[in-house]
Amino acid sequence: MSEHVRVRFAPSPTGHLHIGGARTAIYNWAFARRHGGTFILRIEDTDPERSTEENTQAILRAMEWLGLDYNEGPVVGGEYGPYFQTQRFASYADALERLKTAGASYPCFCTSADLEIKREAGRIQGGFAGYDRTCRSIDADTAAARIAAGEPHVWRLKVPEQRGDIVFPDAVRGEVSFPVDAVDDLVLVRTDGTATYNFAVTVDDVTMAITHVIRGDDHLSNTPKQILIYEALGEPVPVFAHLSMILGADGKRLSKRHGATSVESYRDQGFLPEAVMNYLALLGWSLDGETTVFSRETLAENFSLDRVSRNPAIFDDEKLEWLNGVYVREMSAQTLVDQMVPYLQAAGFLSPEEVSTRRDWLLRLAPLISERVKRLDEVVPMVGFLFADTVVIEESALAKVLGKEGAGVALDACRETLAGLSAFDAATIEAALREVPERVGVKPKVVFQAVRVAVSGTTVSPPLFEVLELLGREQTLARIDVARKYAVE
Ligand code: GLU
C-alpha cells in the first residue's frame, strides 16, 4: 500500500466497549500496524441523551487493557483533533458552507407534520417513502428570504439527478450495490444547526484523512449516503470494509441476552487481555486457517482484510475459556502471581504487605494452579483453604472419606510421620507418606484422601504434597488434629 494508511475506531459512548466493538477496534489496530499506518480513536458523542463521560472512560480503559494503543485520539491528542465529535461542530459548519457554495445542499422548510403526510402518501402508493424533494425547486432568492425571516429549516443533500446506482468495492464483502433511488435527499444539518449522524461521520473521516473505514456491517446502509456526501464534497471515497456480525451460540446477534458482553466484564471474570485479543481476532479472521494461538505481534504483522470472512462469526464461550487456559499455562510464575494477586486481595486473602512478604510463597503456589484453571477468578475457590484459619469440612467429604474404615488410623500415622520429618518440603513429605499405607494396612487412596480432606476440607485440591509444604508443618498438623475427631477408626 503506497499511501499512508489512516484508520479509525469510532465508538459512541452510549455504553461500555462490548465484544463486537472490541473486534472492530482490534481489526483497525492490526490493519494500521500491518501497514505502518495511523490508528485513530474518535469518540462519537453527539447523542447527548445516551453519551456519558463514564462510558467514555470505560471505553478508554478497555482499549488500554486490550493493549490497543492509538496514535491519535483522546488523551494522546494529534494533529487532526479534537477527537470528540462534540468538539468538531465548526468543521461540520464549514463542510456545509462548502456544499452550499457548490450547490450541493438546499434548505428544506417542510415541517415534521408535512413530512409525515408525504411519507404516508408514498407508502400508500407503494413507492419510496422518502422525501419527495418539494423544497429542492424553491429558487435561491425565495429560500434566502425565508431563512432571513427566521423560518425553521434543515439542510438537505442534493442527490444528483443523473447519478446511477451506488456501487462500491467492499474489502470484505466484494462489490456492494445500492439503487440510487433508495437514497433520500438526506438531511445534513438539522433545524437546530446540529449535524446529522451521517454528515458528521463523513466530514470527520474526510477531515481526519481516513483512508480505510473498517466497521460493523450494521453501518452498511449508511455507506451509500456517506458516499454521496464524499462526492458532493469532491473528496476521495475511502476503502470500506464491513465486518459481519458476531452471533451468540443460539445464532442470534450477540447482545446482553447472552450475558455480559462488555470487555471489562471479561477482565473481571479473569480473562487475560492477550487471550481475549487472540480470540476476538479469530472471530472472522484467520492467520492461516489452522493456527489458533498467536500473539498480538503476529496479528499485527499478518493481518489482512482479504482474510476476513464474510460470514457471521459465532461467539463460543468455551473456546475463549480454552484459549485463556492456554495463556494461563504459558505464563511464567512471576506473571501468574502478578495476575492472581488482585483476585486474592479482593477475596480478602492477602493484605497489602503480604503481597510482597509472601511473594516467594505465592511463586511456589503459582505452578500448582496454572495447570488447573482456565480463568483467574477460579483461583480464589481453588486456593481459599490455604488462607483460611480453620477448615470447614464438606459434608460429603466427611461421609465419603473420613467415614471410611481406616481413616482414623491413617491420620494418626500421617500425623506422627509428618511431625517427625527433618524437613518439610514436598519431596520429603511425599517419600515419607508413601510408606504409610503399607505400614498401617490401609489403602493408599484412603490415606491420601483423608489427609487431603483434613487440610483442604474437600476431596479435590491441587497436588497434596505441595499443598502440605505450602501450608507448613504447624498448620498441617493442626488441621489433621481437627479432622481426626470426625474420622472413624
Ligand atoms: N459510532 C458508530 C458506532 O459506534 C461507528 C461509526 C463508524 O464506524 O462509521 O457504531
pLDDT of 90 > 60? The answer is: yes
Please tell me the predicted confidence (pLDDT) of residue 224. Answer: 96
- Of all protein residues, the one whose alpha carbon is nearest to atom 6 of ligand 1 is 10
Rg (CA), the chain: 32
Which of the pair, 462 or 181, is modelled with greater confidence?
Answer: 462
Instruction: Look up residue 116 and give its amino acid.
Output: E
Task: Give the least confident one: 118-122, 165-169, 281-285.
Answer: 118-122
When pLDDT is cut at 50, 70 and 90, the band that residue 1 belongs to is low
Cell, residue 120: 404516508
State the Cα–Cα distance between residues 16 and 127, nearest whole angstrom: 40
3-state secondary structure 157-175: ECCCCCCCCEEEEECCCEE
Element (H, E) at 75: none
The 187-189 sheet, strands edge to edge: 105-108, 154-157, 187-189
Question: Does residue 256 have an active-site annotation?
Answer: yes
The residue whose grid cell reads 487472540 is 278
- Residue 142: CB partners within 8 Å, gap ≥ 6? none
Q: What value does the mean pLDDT of the chain take?
A: 95
- Residue 37: CB partners within 8 Å, gap ≥ 6? 4, 5, 6, 7, 31, 211
pLDDT of 489 > 90? The answer is: no
- Of all protein residues, the one whose alpha carbon is nearest to atom 10 of ligand 1 is 11
pLDDT of 129 > 70? The answer is: no
State the Cα–Cα distance between residues 67 and 277, nearest whole angstrom: 9
Mutate to test the pocket of ligand 1, among 212, 219, 240, 245 (most ligand atoms within 8 A of CB): 219
Could you tell me if the CB of 10 is within 6 A of ligand 1? yes
Residue 315 contacts residue 258 (beta carbons within 8 Å): yes
pLDDT of 128 > 60? The answer is: no
Length of the chain: 489
Residue 257 contacts residue 230 (beta carbons within 8 Å): no
- Of all protein residues, the one whose alpha carbon is nearest to atom 3 of ligand 1 is 11
Q: What is the mean pLDDT of residues 140-148?
A: 96
| CA proximity to 392, closest of 464, 485, 482 | 482
Please tell me the predicted confidence (pLDDT) of residue 487. Answer: 87
Residue 285's beta-bridge partner residues? 308
- Domains of the chain in start order, with CATH, are 1-73+244-330 (3.40.50.620), 89-243 (3.40.50.620), 331-373 (no CATH), 395-484 (1.10.10.350)
State what percent of residues in the chain have pLDDT above 70: 99
State the Cα–Cα distance between residues 261 and 27, nearest whole angstrom: 18
Atom of ligand 1 nearest to the CA of 205: 9
Task: Give the least confident one: 192-206, 251-265, 347-361.
Answer: 251-265
From 100, 252, 256, 443, active-site residue: 256
Three-state SS for 130? Answer: coil
State the Cα–Cα distance between residues 275 and 66, nearest whole angstrom: 9
Dihedral angle sign, alpha carbons of residues 298, 303, 306, 312: positive
When pLDDT is cut at 50, 70 and 90, the band that residue 178 belongs to is very high
Q: What is the mean pLDDT of residues 329-346?
A: 96
H-state helical runs in 80-179: 89-101, 112-124, 140-148
Atom of ligand 1 nearest to the CA of 9: 8
Q: What is the mean pLDDT of residues 416-427?
A: 97
For the beta carbon of residue 410, count every other beta carbon within 10 angstroms: 29
> pLDDT for 182-239, tens place per residue?
788 999 999 999 999 999 999 999 999 999 999 999 999 999 999 999 999 999 999 9
Tell me, in angstroms, the distance from the centre of ligand 1 to residue 215's CA: 7
pLDDT of 163 > 90? The answer is: no
Interior CA angle at 208 toward 205 and 214, to 5°? 45
